[in-house]
Amino acid sequence: MKKMVKIKGKTYHLNYILGLVITSLVLLIVIIGFFYTPYDPNTMNAALKNSPPSLMHPLGTDNFGRDILSRVMVGAGTTYVIAVSIVLIGAFFGTVVGALTGYFGGWLDEVIMRFNDVLTAIPSILLALVFVSIFGPGTYNIIFALGILFVPSYARVIRSEFIVLRERDFVNNAKLMGAGSLRIMFIHILPNTRNVLIPALLIGFNNAVLAEAGLSYLGLGVQPPQASLGRMLSEAQSYLLDSPWYALAPGLMIILTVLGFSLISGGMGND
Amino acid sequence: MTNYETLLSVENLSVGVSDKRKINTVIDNISFEVKKGEIIGIVGESGSGKTMTALSVIGLLPPSVKILSGKVNFHGKNLLTIEDKEFRRLRGSEISMVFQDSMTSFNPLLTIGAQVEEMLRLHSKYEKEEYKALTIEALAEVGLSKPQEIYQKYPHQLSGGMRQRAMIAMAMITRPKLVIADEPTTALDVTTQSKILGLLKKMNEKHGTSIILISHDLRVIQSICDRAIVMKDGKIVEAGPTQELFSDPENEYTKKLLAAIPVPFSKNSIMSNDIQNEIFIRNLERSGNTLKKDIPDPAEQKNRQDDILMIKNLNVFYSENGKRLLGKRSRKQVIHNMTFSVKQGETLGIVGESGSGKSTLAKAIVGLNKEIEGIININDGATEGLVSFLSKPQMVFQDPYGSLNPTKKIGWILEEPLKLQTKLKKKERLAKVNEIIREVGLSTEHLKRYPSQLSGGQRQRVAIAASLIVNPKLVILDEPVSSLDVTIQAQILRLLKDLQKKYNLTYVFISHDLNVIFQICDRVCVIYQGEIVEMKEAKELFFRPDHEYTKELLKSAMLISKNCCHI
């Protein structure tokens, strides 16, 4: 059932508003984390190992006595930067590939898209593992590896839009004006793909957050002592029964992020 | 006729769209009745509420549209208060609908047979074999030859006319009491149009089905309806038996609608004065020209003689991409060995049905289709002009929704060709844009809007402006008025004529509508299956057609508008 909300005379999806609220809360925490954290996220304190939430440490401390709230604030920032970079790489190259193949078609399209199919056929986390085992673990390597793996899905989305749009008369019109292929592709056609591109970016960001968390969880992404949400989850699993608050904090952060963006992208399309 | 019992009665129906807290009424307190076995026409321009009326009868109003008051009684039941489940049963079995666009109304992934059959499955119980037999019978009944084969085909494999027939078969297969046909023939060629209307009439007579026929085209309404309702701005402005209504209209709006129908060269036509004068003047000029032949104005003579476009032995192909990587490309020839020329300042009409190659020809002339053999020679005399723009032929497309980029503002759209083809500075470009927008009858206010914020007619004006802004000598108009209401059509045609005079433009005017062609063209070229079958002065062609195909075209155009001519 669609619920609509009216704000200043405009109607929005309830989901859209909820998503905006959640996302801005999460983003606020991350932005504060860039400038201020209650404690230094990497300072250890042997006296406070695995202490439960208290007034001093609202989310408790981890196995090295580090403040979890500070670590979540910084770790979420790391995860977001990585996720945004992945999406930008994927969306940029995906858009270029999709535009070229969709607009021109022909054998180029066939060759590239079949290669694309091959990439999509293998689970991306598995491919990322292969990349990382070749190039070694580390923040930049997983950005690179996951970024490449995100190209096919964007290429596919943009390509299918271009195939439809290139037949439209406004494109013919642009040709008659004497516009070149590149101008037609990126100035005339590309803005028309925003209805699918923007939700794809949001969904892609979610997937990137999850992929980073997954890889860091496996110990292949961000290296200690740097914090990221996935890294923290991976460290927390050993203490899941004794100090559940450790896993809860980064886990909730991931859930809220993904939920917020999903609600926004879901509520956006059908205004 | 008066003895028929009432099947459907709409009483004081009001329907509104809520928008920003206030309610816009789209249907304002209308009442009408449909009797058993009657064909009733609802006519009006787009936005008049005719489709909304139909949708509220069949209960398919979009969620943002609310019924404000009134009753819709069908067989004594009020359809507005009936339960969903009950309504679902009625829909399809008792009331069914034929939509305008048969391409989008069929599911492209299912065969025609499966879709027509589903209608039957939902509303009756038979054995599996019987379903198929009944479906094939229904397909045969609507005049589809080889119904067995049609049954297996997908929507895109059929022509528009065949799809519309299949749609009628689908609507009729459950023998409903009422069929609502929303612009069923608008997307079709004129010969197909008259056949589909004939089919509706036949189904009505054979099965006693009542039909509500919705159209913006008065000629369609006149051809088969017993009674007609004229709607404007959600109100019924006039209603009555078709003959009376159209021979003796009382309401001003009805008169205006009737006047806007292009009825060329008809002695008794009550066409709007401007157009009639234009034609009158043109006739005078023409006869004058022949009289003055001995003393020709040398300048004009030269202008007239100069061929701006010369086409010689033109063959145009359409290549279908192979489905597989190494699949062979197949080439289909669309235009066969065409030769003709267009003189400076004249309007050449190109008429033919869809699939005859009209649009392909247009695309070949402007250079959008590169797979051609033969000669296309464009002599634009660009060197003479003071501001020497690269004056390639420009084109105005049929659908202004499609030809204007929806994500750009009108100002940007008009400026873009100047950016690409001229070296004008930003300021000069804007001045030119401001000039042209007023030239086509819009104001600079419109430059800040997006295409979706304009009406169809305004959009087509923008499309015309965009094509004229680079000062072309030759403009190809591909069905420029086909998607517009009749009164808007007349306005756009007048605008095109004014602009032609002012800028000494040459038009190649493509249309399937003979009446429009007749109104604006000096010479007409009839195309059938990619070949020119006849080419003559407009008047010659209409009064003395030689070719069989031309005669058939004229006949079906007249069949639809025959009643208009009696006025």
- pLDDT tens track for B532-544: 888 888 888 887 8
Contacts of B433 in chain A (CB under 8 A): none
Size of interface A-B (CB pairs under 8 A): 63
Q: Do B403 and A169 touch (CB under 8 A)?
A: yes
Kindly indicate the confidence band of residue B285, based on its pLDDT and cuts at 50, 70 and 90: very low
- Asked whether residue A88 carries a pLDDT value surpassing 90, the answer given is yes
Q: Write down the residue that tokens 């089905």 correspond to.
A: B209
The first and second tokens of residue A28, run together, are: 């606020």
The first and second tokens of residue A149, run together, are: 């793996």
- Asked whether residue B179 carries a pLDDT value surpassing 70, the answer given is yes
Least confident of B54-68, B255-269, B465-479: B255-269
Kindly indicate the confidence band of residue A97, based on its pLDDT and cuts at 50, 70 and 90: very high
Mean pLDDT of A57-75: 84
Kindly indicate the confidence band of residue B4, based on its pLDDT and cuts at 50, 70 and 90: low
| Distance (Å) from the alpha carbon of A4 to chain B's nearest alpha carbon | 11
Question: To the nearest whole percent, how much of chain B has pLDDT over 90?
Answer: 6
| Distance (Å) from the alpha carbon of B444 to chain A's nearest alpha carbon | 22
Mean pLDDT of B548-561: 74
Q: Do A192 and B406 touch (CB under 8 A)?
A: yes
**Which residue of chain A has the CA closest to B22?**
A9
Report yes or no: A177 at the B interface, CB cutoff 8 Å.
yes
User: Looking only at Cα atoms, what is the longest distance across chain A?
Assistant: 76
Kindly indicate the confidence band of residue A59, based on its pLDDT and cuts at 50, 70 and 90: confident
- Predicted pLDDT at B558: 67
Please give the C-alpha separations between residue B390 and each of A101, B43, B367, B383, B474, in angstroms, as whole numbers: 31, 45, 14, 10, 12
Residue B263 DSSP label: -
Beta strands across the sheet bearing B6-19 = B22-35, B6-19, B65-74, B77-78
Note the helical H segments in chain A: 14-35, 68-104, 106-121, 124-135, 139-165, 169-177, 181-183, 194-217, 229-236, 245-268
- Predicted pLDDT at A222: 80
What does the alpha-carbon distance between residue B220 and residue B300 come to, in Å, rounded to a whole number?
Answer: 42
- Asked whether residue B322 carries a pLDDT value surpassing 70, the answer given is no
Residues 6+ apart with CB under 8 A from B291: none
pTM above 0.90, yes or no: no
What does the alpha-carbon distance between residue B243 and residue B224 come to, in Å, rounded to a whole number?
Answer: 11
- For B58, the enclosing helix (H) or strand (E) is helix B50-58
**Which residue of chain B has the CA closest to A6?**
B20
Give the mean pLDDT of chain A: 85
Q: Do B403 and A188 touch (CB under 8 A)?
A: no
Residue B292 DSSP label: G
Question: To the nearest whole percent, how much of chain A has pLDDT over 70?
Answer: 96
Partners of residue B349 on adjacent β-strands? B509, B524
Closest among B481, B470, B464 to B517, alpha carbons compared:
B481
Kindly indicate the confidence band of residue B320, based on its pLDDT and cuts at 50, 70 and 90: low
Kindly indicate the confidence band of residue B547, based on its pLDDT and cuts at 50, 70 and 90: confident
The first and second tokens of residue B321, run together, are: 């991409």
Partners of residue B65 on adjacent β-strands? B17
Q: Where are the beta strands (DSSP E) in B352-444?
A: 372-378, 394-396
Mean pLDDT of A63-85: 87
Please give the C-alpha separations between residue B457 and each of A171, B349, B364, B488, B489, in angstroms, as whole numbers: 21, 21, 27, 6, 8
- Asked whether residue A46 carries a pLDDT value surpassing 80, the answer given is no
Residue A73 — φ and ψ, nearest 5°? -60, -45
**Which among B329, B360, B405, B421 is the top mutation candidate for probing chain A, defined by the most A β-carbons within 10 Å of its own β-carbon?**
B405
- Predicted pLDDT at A90: 93
Kindly indicate the confidence band of residue B284, based on its pLDDT and cuts at 50, 70 and 90: very low
Closest among A44, A62, A71 to A244, alpha carbons compared:
A62
- Asked whether residue A5 carries a pLDDT value surpassing 80, the answer given is no
Beta strands across the sheet bearing B210-215 = B95-98, B178-182, B210-215, B39-43, B227-232, B235-241
Report yes or no: A168 at the B interface, CB cutoff 8 Å.
yes
Kindly indicate the confidence band of residue B561, based on its pLDDT and cuts at 50, 70 and 90: low
Kindly indicate the confidence band of residue A133, based on its pLDDT and cuts at 50, 70 and 90: confident
Residue B67 — φ and ψ, nearest 5°? -80, 125
- Predicted pLDDT at B3: 53
In one letter, which amino acid is B323?
Answer: K
Mean pLDDT of B223-252: 86
Instruction: Give the end-to-end CA distance of chain B in Å, rounded to a whole number.
Output: 23
Least confident of B275-289, B363-377, B520-534: B275-289
Mean pLDDT of A126-146: 85
Closest CB from A10, A107, A170 relative to B405: A170
- Predicted pLDDT at A61: 81
Contacts of A110 in chain B (CB under 8 A): 325
Q: Using omega within 30 degrees of 0 as the cis cutoff, is the peptide bond preceding B63 cis?
A: no
Kindly indicate the confidence band of residue B292, based on its pLDDT and cuts at 50, 70 and 90: very low
Kindly indicate the confidence band of residue B296, based on its pLDDT and cuts at 50, 70 and 90: very low
What does the alpha-carbon distance between residue A211 and residue A84 come to, in Å, rounded to a whole number?
Answer: 12
Mean pLDDT of B9-33: 82
Note the helical H segments in B211-326: 218-224, 242-247, 252-260, 273-291, 298-305
In one letter, which amino acid is B400?
Answer: P
> pLDDT tens digit string along A149-199?
889 989 999 999 999 888 888 888 888 888 888 899 998 999 989 888 888
Mean pLDDT of B176-196: 83
- Predicted pLDDT at B380: 54
| Distance (Å) from the alpha carbon of B85 to chain A's nearest alpha carbon | 19
> pLDDT tens digit string along B371-390?
788 878 777 554 343 333 44
Q: Taking CA B461 as the corner, what is the angle to CA B455 and CA B464, rounded to the nearest 5 degrees?
A: 145
The neighbour count for residue B170, using CB atoms within 10 Å, is 27
Residue B336 — φ and ψ, nearest 5°? -110, 115
Least confident of A21-35, A42-56, B26-40: A42-56
CB burial of residue B502 (10 Å; 0-12, 13-18, 19+):
exposed
What does the alpha-carbon distance between residue A5 and residue A14 come to, in Å, rounded to a whole number?
Answer: 6
- Asked whether residue B305 carries a pLDDT value surpassing 60, the answer given is no
CB burial of residue A264 (10 Å; 0-12, 13-18, 19+):
buried
CA atoms within 13 A on the CB side of B490: 18
| Distance (Å) from the alpha carbon of A173 to chain B's nearest alpha carbon | 7
Q: What long-range pairs does B275-284 form, CB within 8 A, spacing at least 24?
A: B275/B490, B275/B493, B275/B494, B275/B519, B278/B494, B278/B497, B279/B519, B282/B522, B283/B539
Q: Do B395 and A176 touch (CB under 8 A)?
A: yes
Q: Do A9 and B395 touch (CB under 8 A)?
A: no
Query: Taking phi first (over 0 means left), then psi (-120 to 50 degrees means alpha), and beta for anything else, what does residue B484 get?
Result: beta
Least confident of A18-27, B95-104, B208-217: B95-104
> pLDDT tens digit string along B440-465?
888 888 898 888 888 888 888 999 99
Kindly indicate the confidence band of residue B288, based on its pLDDT and cuts at 50, 70 and 90: very low
- Predicted pLDDT at B423: 81
> pLDDT tens digit string along B134-148?
899 888 888 888 888
Q: Write down the residue that tokens 């986390």 correspond to.
A: A125
Give the mean pLDDT of chain B: 79
- DSSP letter string over B421-485? H----HHHHHHHHHHHHHHTT--GGGGGS-GGGS-HHHHHHHHHHHHHTT--SEEEEESTTTTS-
Q: Do A191 and B407 touch (CB under 8 A)?
A: yes
Residue B304 vs residue B229, higher pLDDT: B229
Chain mean position to CA A30? 15
Kindly indicate the confidence band of residue B290, based on its pLDDT and cuts at 50, 70 and 90: very low
